[in-house]
Structure 1
Amino acid sequence: MAERNVNYESTSDVKDKLEEIEQAPIRQDVDALIDQMESELQAAGKREAFVNIEFKNPKHFTWFLVCFASMGGLLSGLDQSLISGANLYLPKDLGLSSNQNSLINSGMPLGAVFGSILISPCNELFGRRWAIIIALVLYTIGAGLCAGAINFPMLIVARLILGAGVGLEGGTVPVYVAETVDRRIRGNLVSLYQLMIALGEVLGYAVGAIFLGLPGNWRYILGSSVVFSTIMFLGTIFIPESPRWLMHKGDHVSAYRIWKRIRGLDSRESREEFYDMKTTLEIEELEVKQGGTRRFPWIDLITNKRARRAFVYANVMIFLGQFTGINAVMYYMSVLMSQVGFDSTQANYMSLVGGGALLLGTIPAIFYMELCGRRFWALTMLPGFFIGLIFIGISYELPITNTAAVQGVYLTGLIIYEGFFGSYACLTWVIPSEVYPTYLRSYGMTVSSGWIFLTSFIVTYNFSAMQEAMTKIGLALGFYGGIAVLGWFYQLLFMPETKNRTLEEIDHIFEKQTIVIVKENIKSSRETIKDLMHLRFRKVATDG
């Protein structure tokens, strides 16, 4: 972790400075800080570069940068689903065994685990923007090698490189968006990343269908993501660095310059958020100085109580998102379709049904997550996809001779499961991106992103063996469904509400003891039950 421009000689100096910052009269200090930053900005001079673009309305800039940054989700989803179509032809062309094909499928999430290890060094050394660009280079190299693979080892290496890009980008983009957008739309816009993943997955199934009749079609399928990574690379060149990262690195003038471009300073709220950002980072720096862990920031994820609560909370939510089976279903979509009676061609086309349901299910989160809140979203969506798993389980118990009934019930369950999961999955990106302290955010996201893809690898690699050992209904309803039920109770008790809070305000939530959060959640649940009994549904949905 790089040194920052803070230097206090003793513990007493640190405590005095902390008290001074915490007790400062906010409004007066906000105006004074803005005036000071304006003077420093004028003294530094205006920096011009060919990649700088300006919008009269800062909101338009926000949408521009979020659009291109979130295209990383499109790439991630695309490369997850492309392998589904390739699965029908790739093993025969390269003479792969069942175990080798499982490794090919799980190679990308395994590579993403290694890519996640790159998050903190790339983010700390180069910044959010350059970390995204590096990820795109890995994407392009990996996709090109996939298209040209001539044997199993080459394809494994290609999938690992591709996965490294997915891991690095997946842990950086949500943080970049969370650090740059308005708190009132943060949950919605970070959810846009999951929407782009879902869109990418649908696009991947469509690409598989487009190249279905061509000889060596799997090469075109797997190599097609080069087109999208190139487009995103060209757009990413024009997005600015995260102002919070620049502030974290001590470059206050550059942080202020970019804040003016992407957020503006006309509103009181924007000015106060910049003030909070600067003073909170100073407090974090002083606490790190006092605690003596400056050289080992990873330790703070465990020893710092506030960081530890966020660490546990974020990674349990990721566990619930992955071990309810979503990536195994997406990677093996065509195979699962063939198991309920569709031939190879039909299975490829019918995969669009599951991918389309995931995409449509993600859309409500874009518009309503910030209105309804994280708790309401989690506690409502998780039971929804459990119901979908029930239908899937029932389809496995129907007589195989009644193909139409089996396919109808299975597709109904798949649509419900994918639809509700599309909205729920947004939380696995929103929550880790917002709960860690700023000085630990890249380190926390390294672990959380790695955990996302490690669990994805575990679930995907073991899918065939687990289905054989547990039976289809046992895996779908017993294992995936059982975790969903346990997860619902965990969320009911331990999940705090972070909607409509700045990243600095979220610090105060995780400073509370876990038992305090549990008591608040129990009290909130009682009030919710009363509201439901009195049919006050709007209050339940909007109060969180």
Structure 2
Amino acid sequence: MSVNPQSETKSQKSESSSFSDLNKKLDQEEQLAGLAPEIQAKFDEFEQLAEESKHNKTLWDRILLDTGFKVSFKNKLHMTYMLAAFASIGGMLSGADQSLISGATVFLEDDFHLTSHEQSLISSLVPIGAIAGAIMLSPLNQLFGRRFSIMISCVAYTIGGIICAAAQTVHQLYTGRFFIGIGIGLESIIPAYVSECSPRDIRGNLTSLFQFNIALGEVFGYAIAAMFYDLKGAWRYILGSSLFFSTLLLTGMFFLPESPRYLVVIQKKTGAAYRIWKTLRNMDDLDNKLEFLELVESTRFTEQSGSHDTRKHLWMDFFTVPRARRSIIYAFIMIFLGQFTGVNAVMYYMSTLMASIGFNTKNSVFMSLVGGGSLLLGTIPAILWMDKCGRRFWCNFCLPGFFVGLIFLGVSYQVPITAPAAKGLYLTGVILYMGFFGSYSTATWVVPTEVFPNYLRSYGMTVSSGGLFLWSFVITYNFNDMFDKFTKTGLTLGFYGGIAVLGFIYQIMFVVETKGKTLEELDDVFSMPTKKLIALNLKSTKKDFECIAHGRFKEVAQGTHIYY
């Protein structure tokens, strides 16, 4: 059924809004007293649907929902933790690829006598393949769901890894790298999958695990490259080791459930969704019941408001519906800022960059661990405090931090390569840049998973993921030419640093706080006109500066002054 939320009637909006407002205003005792009969009737219906869903299954249902092993915990939060931890292992696929190819490149140049163009193509074919994977993401997610799509991504990644490890020609390497890219593009639905399954108060922390695993994969990749450095044909072992990560993720997915939000919104299987919801939430907590009810009710309102609409292409709402249009622009710019500050190019060419400041070939591979380790350590504060501080504070705090790192990098290239200060300035810059970017990059995964309407989330993740890999390709493929033509200082400090400064100004004005709200409640925030959001953000920023001037830093860090 096609839907068009723009046509929602005032009475329906009022009913939905009053339902949401009531949840916020009443404490749990009042909710139980005032809403218990109405809520109980709804949940009696859900229980009946859940029971029916156990027996009335099509073959397709059995393949998609029952392929695997059922796991449950007495403490339901532990199930959510397990889901986030296992699914986020997918980040290791992307992270390991960046660092493994960085270490393998120094051997591939000699074995295949690569030209500069061929070296760039080997690195940049992964983001090209990832764009293809991202394009496939929406139809696969609509048809197979989040869980099965992630499993398909593992298969594509495994095929690519085998081809790369066994390659005899550079064209076989191209093919393997492209398949790896498809796998990485498809698995970019993982943050949305985790976000849809996580409670609102820890959603940011758990979704941040994906970026943590990207950084962890990069560290593993550099360590693996260093481990196999002295072996003959080392690059085959380096590239072949990536199969461990895809096998680990594929195994883990057999123990995880489908996203309840996908089942309600896309498949209209409320009973099956409620059975899974009860494995993820403590149903003695009224908030968890109300969250599921809000999901079902908001989906019903959306369907009713668009019942007359015959359009087949829902993604057109990104152009025609203001709420959807704001979300896609918002997510796309967040992705752009993350990529055009150069981090993927720095990661892909870390060993080469280390060699450019005077490290020999072997030490350049080992020293690459400095960048990977800094990125990993930088993600840890975000995992711990993303939901306490909020997305807006996190973005505005981190961008200036890695701009300072870019200053050190730019200055290091002005010091003679033989001087010890060159290495000292460069490594200081790498540590600051990668550390602060590690924290910032968590938001570039968390925010896009939160801002899209439920019925458009897979389409939104296709666009934002496709944009991420497109910008990654542009930056990575052109890195060598930009490095030469901009000069080293011009590229790091002028281009990447300039984007960081512009990004900071944008974020002050446009970045919306999403912490503490359900994915359904965020519809109200993004339904505000853009001018109003800017005005509220500037009002919040002004209040934050007043608090800083008076030493009330805790209020700023906790996002106390958010006015929507």
What's 1:486 paired with? 502
**Corresponding residue to 2:537 among 521, 537, 541:** 521
Q: How far did 1:30 drift?
A: 3.0
Q: How far did 1:94 drift?
A: 1.4
The answer to whether the 8 A contact 2:381-2:439 is kept is yes
Q: Which amino acid aligns with 1:298?
A: W
TM-score by length of 2: 0.92
1:193 aligns with 2:190: no
**Corresponding residue to 2:319 among 298, 302, 316:** 302
Find the aligned partners of 1:390 and 1:124 in 2 and give their Cα distance: 45
**Corresponding residue to 1:369 among 374, 386, 402:** 386
Identical aligned residues as a percent: 51
What's 1:179 paired with? 196
What's 1:382 paired with? 399
Q: Which amino acid aligns with 1:223?
A: G
Find the aligned partners of 1:405 and 1:455 in 2 and give their Cα distance: 33
Q: How far did 1:208 drift?
A: 0.2
Q: Which amino acid aligns with 1:500?
A: G
**Corresponding residue to 1:414 among 423, 430, 437:** 430
The answer to whether the 8 A contact 1:167-1:450 is kept is yes
1:153 aligns with 2:153: no
The answer to whether the 8 A contact 1:18-1:286 is kept is no
Q: How far did 1:432 drift?
A: 0.7
What's 1:65 paired with? 83
Find the aligned partners of 1:456 and 1:395 in 2 and give their Cα distance: 25
The answer to whether the 8 A contact 1:135-1:164 is kept is yes
The answer to whether the 8 A contact 2:165-2:239 is kept is yes
Q: How far did 1:264 drift?
A: 2.7
Question: Secondary structure of the equivalent of 1:543?
Answer: coil
Range with greater deviation from structure 2 (438-447 or 49-58): 49-58
What's 2:295 paired with? 277
* Count of paired positions: 534
Question: Aligned pair in 2 of structure 1 residues 23, 494: CA closer, same or farther (>3 Å)?
Answer: closer
Q: Which amino acid aligns with 1:32?
A: A
Question: Aligned pair in 2 of structure 1 residues 126, 406: CA closer, same or farther (>3 Å)?
Answer: same
Question: Aligned pair in 2 of structure 1 residues 49, 95: CA closer, same or farther (>3 Å)?
Answer: closer
Residues 68-118 of structure 1: CA deviation (Å, up to 9, x unaligned): 100000111011110000011112101221101100011111110111001
Residues 113-157 of structure 1: CA deviation (Å, up to 9, x unaligned): 111001101100000000000000001000010001111111111
1:442 aligns with 2:458: yes
**Corresponding residue to 1:461 among 451, 474, 477:** 477
Q: How far did 1:49 drift?
A: 7.3
Find the aligned partners of 1:307 and 1:287 in 2 and give their Cα distance: 15
Find the aligned partners of 2:324 and 2:305 in 1 and give their Cα distance: 12
Question: Aligned pair in 2 of structure 1 residues 276, 341: CA closer, same or farther (>3 Å)?
Answer: same
What's 1:504 paired with? 520
What's 1:40 paired with? 49
Find the aligned partners of 1:289 and 1:448 in 2 and give their Cα distance: 28
The answer to whether the 8 A contact 2:49-2:270 is kept is no
What's 1:132 paired with? 150
Q: Which amino acid aligns with 2:145?
A: G
Q: Which amino acid aligns with 2:373?
A: G
Question: Aligned pair in 2 of structure 1 residues 502, 225: CA closer, same or farther (>3 Å)?
Answer: same
The answer to whether the 8 A contact 1:435-1:503 is kept is yes
**Corresponding residue to 2:231 among 204, 211, 214:** 214
Q: Which amino acid aligns with 1:37?
A: F
Alignment of 1:222-241 (within 5 A): 222-241=239-258
Q: Which amino acid aligns with 1:519?
A: A
What's 1:470 paired with? 486
Find the aligned partners of 1:371 and 1:278 in 2 and give their Cα distance: 28
Q: How far did 1:442 drift?
A: 0.2
The answer to whether the 8 A contact 2:131-2:465 is kept is yes
What's 1:289 paired with? 307
The answer to whether the 8 A contact 1:293-1:299 is kept is no
1:246 aligns with 2:255: no
Q: How far did 1:50 drift?
A: 6.0
Find the aligned partners of 1:354 and 1:23 in 2 and give their Cα distance: 50
1:541 aligns with 2:557: yes
Question: Secondary structure of the equivalent of 1:490?
Answer: helix
What's 1:88 paired with? 106
Find the aligned partners of 1:373 and 1:477 in 2 and give their Cα distance: 28
Q: How far did 1:31 drift?
A: 2.9
Range with greater deviation from structure 2 (295-304 or 279-288): 279-288
**Corresponding residue to 1:257 among 275, 281, 291:** 275
Q: How far did 1:471 drift?
A: 0.1
Question: Secondary structure of the equivalent of 2:363?
Answer: helix
Question: Aligned pair in 2 of structure 1 residues 100, 493: CA closer, same or farther (>3 Å)?
Answer: same
* Residue segments in structure 1 that go unaligned for 5+ positions in a row: none
Question: Secondary structure of the equivalent of 1:426?
Answer: helix
Q: How far did 1:161 drift?
A: 0.5
The answer to whether the 8 A contact 1:94-1:150 is kept is no
Find the aligned partners of 1:21 and 1:383 in 2 and give their Cα distance: 40
Question: Secondary structure of the equivalent of 2:257?
Answer: coil
What's 2:27 paired with? none
Q: Which amino acid aligns with 1:91?
A: E
Range with greater deviation from structure 2 (260-269 or 435-444): 260-269
Residues 520-539 of structure 1: CA deviation (Å, up to 9, x unaligned): 01111111011011100111
Question: Aligned pair in 2 of structure 1 residues 293, 542: CA closer, same or farther (>3 Å)?
Answer: farther
Find the aligned partners of 2:452 and 2:39 in 1 and give their Cα distance: 24
What's 1:531 paired with? 547
Question: Secondary structure of the equivalent of 2:413?
Answer: helix
Find the aligned partners of 1:147 and 1:241 in 2 and give their Cα distance: 33
Find the aligned partners of 2:413 and 2:136 in 1 and give their Cα distance: 42
Question: Secondary structure of the equivalent of 1:503?
Answer: coil
Residues 453-497 of structure 1: CA deviation (Å, up to 9, x unaligned): 110010000000001110000000000000000000000001111
Find the aligned partners of 2:523 and 2:311 in 1 and give their Cα distance: 19
The answer to whether the 8 A contact 1:288-1:294 is kept is no
Find the aligned partners of 1:20 and 1:521 in 2 and give their Cα distance: 28
Q: How far did 1:18 drift?
A: 5.9
What's 1:166 paired with? 184
Question: Aligned pair in 2 of structure 1 residues 336, 238: CA closer, same or farther (>3 Å)?
Answer: same
TM-score by length of 1: 0.95
Alignment of 1:389-404 (within 5 A): 389-402=406-419, 404=420
What's 2:137 paired with? 119
The answer to whether the 8 A contact 2:102-2:351 is kept is yes
Question: Secondary structure of the equivalent of 1:88?
Answer: helix
